[in-house]
């Protein structure tokens, strides 16, 4: 692939990778009635016009080769002009959902005067005429709608009209179709060109020929290759001219054939030469069941009787590595572990034949119980397995023990052969609290954070409180950097596809949170809130492409809401109030988004810097960390990348971390301690089922023995009050119904959880309930603290942790509840004091020292959800990629800019594949194909980058264009350590 070309103007800058163009520009000011446009011209003809107000970057794909001109200019906004012959102008409403779908309604027309005029001039009554809309459109090759169309409307006063509308007229026609009278004409005046800011020219070369070979990832434990290519017409013509025509041949007697070669003994040998692969019109080819080795694909021009005329091209070298030899153990719950293994079949068969020596041989899994560093075989747990029929096993074992596993072969005479080394350890969960003695520890390390300060309140809770409250929101979404497909016909409404998740969360949760918290600050209300923002989410918040997409998304919602207001006014006026609620919140969301220049991390950073918010980090891509203890370098990579990204985003180091899914397994704390992280949050039983009784229960954090890391357990009562749809606040009859939509928006209140009969939403009722529930929540904490504070030698703590998206997305009034709660805590009481984790540890450095239990906050408090049979196959592939990434990171031969960029991008892809959301969504049966597509894409990108790395390391071959395209399309973690997967020295 060609290297990128860069063109720089006074304001504009464009980087071209083939026809993919990354355009950026410095900040430009414009008037309120203007918009910025980036337009693409070829030979003076306008090809595309992009509205780029409030943006500073745009990615576009140009249509083919040629010389293009990019123009950045200001334009006056589109206007409407109404022309009517009436003394009193008709009331005409024109609402556009988007540029090709519009709602038109009309009213306040003096039909008596119209009929009188018709009687005088034509002798006809209104009943003898027909009403038509005359639609005048701009040419549009996308839809192919006619430029002029007559559309009958009958007695209706509204119409849905489609296309790029230039003007629309309402006419009365006679029965022969002749226009008798034009009632009105509405003209859509396009944006007027204003000042041209900058203009640059860029050349896109002709379609490029390429042939690539890469690894294809599939669910089973097998190796596949994929070849893909592009053959431009110019090459087809050249082959015909130089090789076919001189021999009197045509394409009917010859064709392009794909052949695969494998390096054996230092020379290239064709692999499976008996397979005939005439490519025809195909663009790719899959090679199944491939053994490890070094491969290359070649395209040849051959006659149909087998004569090779020429080698058209050879692909890159593909270094196909086999799976990791060995057996690996992963935890699930109190009674189960999951084992998978990989043994090369040819080597295994040879070893077993040599070992058998004519005798019978069986293979089995041997379990070991590990205690105090020693391994004790458990023959009662041995399992006979047929290694040719299975490569994984769900093991049923005893709770609260540390296990290892090995594959052995046993001969008829009892002699044993070790087929794998002993595996990594994995621990089953604990069923009850241990009986070790209670021990306390003081961790007197310096702690700095803006929230470590006395909190203010009308009734002085800092000096009179009897209990402490941490409110923590977990903010995360998987990193999905894709555009929403709006379609060409004009109809669109939000459907909840993965590409929309980020935009939904901004509209429903994060922007309302910023709005309510900033309102509290403006009102002089002091508060402290705890929150983690995952690096995946913060990277999306800072992504220029997603900022551009969000503006398009929110403007689409605004237009939808306007159309819905007009529709409900006519058809269902009892829902108009709800439609207005949505319009107002969409417009407010756009305003706040633009106030922070599209980067909402700046808003959260500002709140943290002012001491209102403590932001902790999360694993870089929300990996389920206990499943990577067999490959600890992956956990180090997740945590190091998260910390580096946090520092770049928020300008300081994090004090604590949110473990994805609150998933804890012994051993994770040593990695957190290595990076200086002081705490994480957990499920309740993580602490209650510790190795010794916890004297404070879930009313205080504990330290993990052997580390300086504290665990803050979740309070179950506050969880149920807010999480539960049955018992909690969100199920109240006056709140907005989440599960039922009335069109593109939600219009009903819950009314009755057990009934499908719903009543219209009333915002005032809902706000009153949110205030009432905030009062109930506050009083519940005060009553609880009054009950327990005398039991302890320090103030009891309640840790209320929630998914951030519960507030606003699932529970529409959630941000209002938080607003009222923080306000009431400030004004109306002094028994409960808000605190953050850093503030607590600074105030109380002495806490109990324990070994917590293995746990998560998932279903049943275990790891089961992420280890269903539908997803357990994923970890084999990720572990193999991690091992390969480690080898790349530890390769000493190359250390230049190009190799560091290859390593960095390869690390990004492996980290992305570790995302726990993929397995979770698949386990729930949602978007299965889409989640697998994301997973395979990341791993295949990684193996492709590994091939580029090996080719550069061993042969000096570079493919700058291919690397740069991946860097542009998947730019997560700009400050990643290229060698983050290298093993750490203990």
123 lies in the same domain as 67: no
Instruction: Let me know whether 768 and 622 are in one domain.
Output: yes
Give the pLDDT of residue 755. Answer: 84
Is the pLDDT at 584 greater than 90? The verdict is yes
Query: Is residue 631 over pLDDT 60?
Result: yes
Average pLDDT rounded to a whole number, residues 649-659: 98
Per-residue pLDDT tens for 841-877? 999 999 999 999 999 999 899 999 999 999 999 999 9
What is the torsion angle, in degrees rounded to the nearest 10, for the CA atoms of residue 665, residue 671, residue 677 and residue 683?
Answer: -10
Rounded distance between C-alpha atoms, residue 43 and residue 113, angstroms = 53
- Express as a percent the part of the chain with pLDDT over 90: 83
pLDDT at 1: 60
Is 124 a member of any domain?
A: yes
Tell me the CATH number at 729.
Answer: 3.20.110.10
- pLDDT tens across 539-557, in order? 999 999 999 999 999 999 9
Report how far residue 471's alpha carbon sits from residue 492's, in angstroms, rounded to the nearest whole number: 38
Q: Integer distance in angstroms from the first to the last C-alpha of the chain?
A: 42
Domain final residue pick, 860, 886, 907:
860
Residues of the chain above pLDDT 70, percent: 99
Instruction: Using the predicted structure, report yes or no on whether residue 570 has a pLDDT greater than 90.
Output: no
- Report the pLDDT value the prediction gives residue 742, as an integer from 0 to 100: 67
pTM over 0.85: yes
Is residue 137, in this structure, part of any structural domain at all?
yes
What whole-number distance in Å separates Cα of residue 806 and Cα of residue 828? 26
- In a domain, residue 489? The reply is no
148 and 227 in a single domain? The answer is no
Tell me the C-alpha distance between 555 and 575, whole Å. 21
Distance CA 74, CA 29 (A): 9
Three-class SS of residue 747?
coil
pLDDT at site 913 = 98
Distance CA 554, CA 797 (A): 40
Residue 754 lies in a domain: yes
Check if the beta carbon of residue 535 is closer than 8 Å to that of residue 642. Answer: yes
Q: Are residues 337 and 448 in the same domain?
A: no
Can you give the three-state secondary structure of 381-394, one letter per residue?
A: HCEECCCCCCCEEE
Query: pLDDT at residue 576 above 90?
Result: yes
* Whether residue 392 sits in one domain with residue 471: no
Q: Is 9 exposed, middle or buried (0-12, 13-18, 19+ CB in 10 A)?
A: middle
Residues 310 and 246 in one domain: yes
What's CA 254's distance to the chain center, in Å?
A: 47
- Return the structure tokens found at 387: 């290694």
Query: What whole-number distance in Å separates Cα of residue 981 and Cα of residue 474?
Result: 26
Q: At what angle do helices 814-827 and 511-522 cross, to 10 degrees?
A: 20
Which two structure tokens, joined as six digits, stand for 130? 């027909």
CATH number, position 362: 2.60.40.10
Has residue 490 got a pLDDT over 60? no
Q: Name which of 292-296, 395-399, 491-495, 680-684 the model is least confident about.
A: 491-495
Task: Please give the average per-residue pLDDT across 369-380, as a whole number.
Answer: 95
Collapsing DSSP to helix, strand or coil, 415 comes out as: coil
pLDDT tier, 28 (very low <50, low <70, confident <90, very high otherwise): confident
Pairing of strands 66-76, 192-204: antiparallel
The answer on 83 and 73 residing in a single domain is: no
Query: Is the domain of 558 the same as that of 641?
Result: yes
Domain with 216 in it: 210-320
CA distances from 970 to 79, 217, 963 (A): 39, 19, 11
Q: How far apart are CA 797 and CA 817, in angstroms?
A: 21
Return the SS3 of 745.
coil
Q: Are strands 79-83 and 91-98 parallel, antiparallel or unpaired?
A: unpaired
E strands, 282-360, are 284-287, 293-303, 308-314, 318-320, 326-331, 336-342
Residue 678: closest CA among 808, 845, 794: 845
Rounded Cα–Cα distance for residues 459 and 466 (Å): 13
pLDDT at 346: 86
Decide if 533 is inside a domain.
yes
Asked if residue 976 belongs to a domain, the reply is: no
Higher pLDDT, 157 or 442: 442
pLDDT higher than threshold 60 for residue 885: yes
Write out pLDDT tens, residues 166-222: 999 999 999 999 999 999 999 999 887 778 999 999 999 888 899 999 999 999 999
Domain end call among 384, 404, 427? 427
pLDDT, position 723: 82
What average pLDDT does the segment 941-949 reach? 96
Q: Give the pLDDT score at 205.
A: 87
Last residue of a domain, one of 860, 881, 900: 860
Together in a domain, 408 and 447:
no
Task: Take residue 18 and report the two structure tokens written for it.
Answer: 């083939």
- Distance CA(862)–CA(856), nearest Å, equals 5
Check pLDDT > 80 for residue 126: yes
Report DSSP state, residue 549.
Answer: H
Cβ-Cβ contacts under 8 Å for 916 (sequence gap 6 or more): 622, 623, 624, 660, 661, 866
| pLDDT tens-digit map of 713-748 | 999 999 999 987 778 999 999 999 998 876 679 999
Residue 574 in any domain: the answer is yes
With a cut of 90, say whether residue 423 has pLDDT above it. yes
Q: Given this model, what pLDDT does residue 487 score?
A: 65
pLDDT tens profile 47-94: 888 999 999 999 999 988 899 999 999 998 889 999 998 878 899 999
**351 closest CA partner among 411, 425, 404:** 411
Distance of CA 245 to the CA centre of its chain: 53
State the virtual CA torsion across 640, 644, 647, 653 in degrees, nearest 10. Answer: 20
- Same domain for 848 and 879, yes or no, is no
489 pLDDT exceeds 60? no
For the chain, helix, strand, coil in percent to 5 are 35, 30, 35
**What are the tens digits of pLDDT across the range 459-484?**
999 999 999 999 999 999 999 999 98
Q: Give the tens place of pLDDT for each residue, 821-834.
A: 999 999 999 999 99
What band does 278 get if pLDDT is binned at 50, 70 and 90? very high
Is 977 a member of any domain? no
DSSP letter at 760 equals: B
Task: Say yes or no: 710 and 856 in one domain.
Answer: yes
DSSP letter at 197 equals E
Number of structural domains in the chain = 6
879 and 843 belong to one structural domain: no
């Amino acid at each position: 692939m060609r290297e990128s070309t860069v063109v720089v103007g006074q304001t504009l800058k464009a980087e071209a990778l083939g026809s993919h163009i990354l355009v950026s520009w410095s900040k430009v000011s414009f008037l309120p009635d203007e918009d910025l446009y980036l337009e693409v011209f070829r030979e003076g003809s306008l090809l595309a016009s992009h509205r780029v107000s409030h943006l500073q970057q745009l990615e576009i794909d140009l249509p083919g080769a040629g010389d293009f001109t990019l123009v950045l200019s200001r334009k006056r906004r589109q206007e409407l002009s109404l022309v009517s012959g009436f003394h009193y102008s008709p009331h005409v409403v024109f609402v556009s959902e988007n540029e090709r779908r519009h709602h038109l309604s009309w009213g306040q027309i003096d039909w008596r005067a119209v009929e009188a005029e018709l009687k005088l001039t034509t002798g006809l009554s209104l009943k003898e005429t027909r009403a038509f809309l005359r639609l005048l459109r701009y040419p549009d090759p996308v839809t192919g709608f006619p430029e002029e169309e007559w559309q009958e409307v009958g007695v209706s006063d509204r119409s849905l009209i489609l296309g790029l509308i230039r003007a629309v007229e309402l006419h009365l026609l006679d029965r022969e179709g002749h226009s008798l009278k034009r009632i009105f004409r509405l003209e859509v005046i396009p944006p007027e060109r204003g000042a041209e800011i900058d203009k640059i020219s860029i050349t896109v070369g002709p379609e490029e020929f390429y042939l690539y070979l890469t690894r294809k990832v599939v669910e089973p434990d097998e190796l596949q290759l994929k070849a893909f290519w592009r053959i431009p017409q110019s090459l087809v013509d050249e082959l015909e001219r130089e090789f076919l025509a001189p021999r009197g041949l045509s394409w009917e007697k010859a064709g392009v054939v794909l052949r695969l070669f494998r390096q054996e003994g230092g020379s290239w040998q064709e692999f499976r030469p008996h397979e005939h692969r005439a490519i025809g019109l195909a663009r790719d080819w899959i090679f199944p069941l491939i053994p490890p080795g070094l491969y290359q694909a070649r395209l040849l021009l051959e006659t149909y009787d087998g004569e090779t005329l020429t080698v058209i091209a050879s692909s890159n070298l593909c270094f196909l590595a086999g799976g990791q030899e060995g057996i690996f153990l992963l935890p699930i719950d109190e009674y189960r572990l999951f084992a998978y293994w990989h043994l090369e079949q040819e080597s295994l068969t040879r070893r077993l034949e040599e070992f058998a020596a004519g005798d019978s041989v069986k293979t089995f899994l041997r379990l070991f119980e590990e205690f105090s560093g020693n391994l004790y075989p458990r023959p009662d747990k041995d399992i006979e397995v047929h290694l040719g029929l299975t490569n994984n096993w769900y093991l049923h074992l005893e709770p609260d023990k540390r296990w290892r596993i090995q594959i052995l072969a046993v001969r008829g005479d009892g002699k044993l052969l070790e087929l794998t080394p002993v595996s990594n350890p994995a621990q089953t969960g604990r069923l009850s609290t241990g009986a070790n003695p209670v021990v306390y520890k003081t961790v007197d390390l310096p702690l700095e954070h803006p929230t470590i300060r006395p909190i203010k309140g009308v009734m002085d809770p800092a000096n009179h409180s009897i209990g402490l409250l941490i409110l923590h929101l977990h903010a995360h979404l998987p990193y999905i950097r894709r555009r929403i497909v709006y379609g060409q016909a004009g109809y669109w409404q939000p459907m909840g596809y993965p590409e929309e998740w980020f935009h939904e969360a901004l509209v429903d949760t994060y922007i309302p949170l910023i709005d309510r918290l900033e309102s509290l600050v403006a009102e002089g209300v002091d508060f402290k809130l705890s929150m983690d923002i995952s690096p995946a989410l913060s990277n999306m918040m800072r992504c220029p492409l997603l900022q551009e997409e969000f503006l398009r998304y929110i403007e689409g919602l605004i237009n939808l809401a306007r159309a819905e207001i007009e529709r409900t006014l006519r058809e269902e006026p009892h829902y108009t109030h709800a439609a207005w609620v949505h319009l107002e919140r969409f417009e407010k969301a756009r305003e706040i988004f633009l106030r922070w220049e599209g980067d909402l991390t700046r808003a959260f950073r500002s709140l943290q810097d002012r001491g209102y918010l403590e932001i902790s980090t999360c694993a870089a891509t929300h990996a389920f960390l206990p499943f990577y203890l067999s490959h600890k370098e992956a956990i180090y990579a997740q945590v190091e990348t998260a910390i580096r990204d946090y520092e770049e985003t928020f300008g300081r180091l994090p004090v604590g971390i949110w473990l994805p899914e609150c998933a804890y397994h012994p051993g994770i704390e040593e990695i957190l301690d290595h990076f200086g992280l002081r705490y994480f949050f957990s499920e309740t039983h993580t602490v209650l089922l510790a190795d010794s009784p916890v004297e404070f229960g879930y009313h205080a954090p504990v330290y993990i023995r052997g580390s300086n890391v504290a665990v803050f357990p979740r309070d179950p009562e506050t969880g149920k009050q807010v999480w539960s749809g049955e018992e909690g606040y969100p199920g109240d009859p006056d709140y907005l119904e989440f599960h039922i939509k009335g069109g593109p928006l939600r219009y009903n209140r819950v009314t009755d959880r057990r009934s499908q009969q719903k009543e219209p939403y009333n915002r005032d009722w809902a706000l009153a309930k949110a205030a009432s529930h905030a009062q109930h929540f506050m009083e519940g904490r005060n009553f609880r603290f009054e009950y327990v504070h005398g039991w302890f030698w320090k103030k009891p703590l309640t840790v209320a942790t929630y998914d951030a998206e519960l507030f606003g997305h699932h529970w529409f009034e959630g941000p209002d509840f938080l607003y009222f709660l923080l306000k009431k805590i400030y004004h109306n009481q002094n028994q409960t004091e808000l605190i953050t984790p850093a503030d607590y540890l600074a105030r109380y450095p002495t806490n109990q020292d324990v070994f917590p239990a293995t746990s998560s906050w998932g279903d049943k408090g275990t790891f089961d959800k992420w280890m269903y049979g539908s997803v357990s196959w994923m970890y084999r592939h990720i572990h193999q990629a991690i091992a390969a990434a480690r080898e790349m990171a530890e390769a000493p031969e190359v250390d230049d800019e190009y190799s560091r960029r290859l390593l960095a991008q390869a690390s990004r892809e492996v980290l992305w594949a570790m995302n726990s959301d993929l397995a979770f969504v698949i386990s729930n049966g949602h978007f299965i194909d889409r989640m697998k597509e994301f997973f395979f894409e990341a791993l295949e990108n990684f193996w492709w980058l590994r091939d580029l790395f090996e080719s550069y390391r061993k042969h000096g071959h570079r493919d700058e264009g291919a690397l740069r395209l991946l860097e542009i399309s998947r730019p997560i973690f700009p400050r990643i350590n290229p060698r983050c997967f290298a093993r750490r020295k203990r």
